[in-house]
Amino acid sequence: MHRRSPFAILALAVVLGACTGASQTSRQEGPAEPEPAEAAPSVAEYETFDPSAYDARPPERTVEVTHQVPDRLLQGRADEGVQQTVEGFRVQVFSARDKQAAQDFQVKVRQWWEENKAEAPTAVLGNEPPIVVQYSQPYYRVRMGAFAERDAAEEALAFVRSAYPNAFISRGTVTVTR
């Protein structure tokens, strides 16, 4: 076992004694009183400039600012005419296993549209709605329109059913113009 030297024990006692702190604490009742602050010197004592002696007005603006921002952006129509592909709706008017029969029916639907577009709800269908042949095994389907909202598809369906009573709304990916 190691023997401790008296010098090491004395040094340890001094270090521990220094760490304990004072035996008495000073007592203070409440917060200390703030000392009175000196008043800040006034700038008026040192300032001698009088601006009323000078007739200084800002110059007239004679420059006209031109910009290159399109008018539709300034009018809040930035997304007008933007095409977007969304999960939407079409009106299906025909379905067949034969591709040629579907293409012939597409021509027939296009002719019907040209004859009846004056009575059509153009706010929903537009001037030239897409009339497409889509293949989903084993059928070729003739579908009309491209609608992001079901309400618009139902309004178009009501018009299309006047010529094609078996037409119905089908879901799918469509490209719409906003």
pLDDT at position 3, please?
Answer: 66
Architecture of domain 83-177: 2-Layer Sandwich (3.30)
pLDDT 10s digits, 140-172: 999 999 999 999 999 999 999 999 999 999 999
- 110 confidence band (pLDDT: 50, 70, 90): very high
Task: List the alpha helices (DSSP H) in the chain.
Answer: 6-19, 71-74, 99-116, 122-125, 150-160
pLDDT at position 164, please?
Answer: 94
CB 169 within 8 A of CB 132: no
Encoded amino acid at 58, one letter = P
- 28 confidence band (pLDDT: 50, 70, 90): low
- Taking residues 79-99, report their average pLDDT: 90
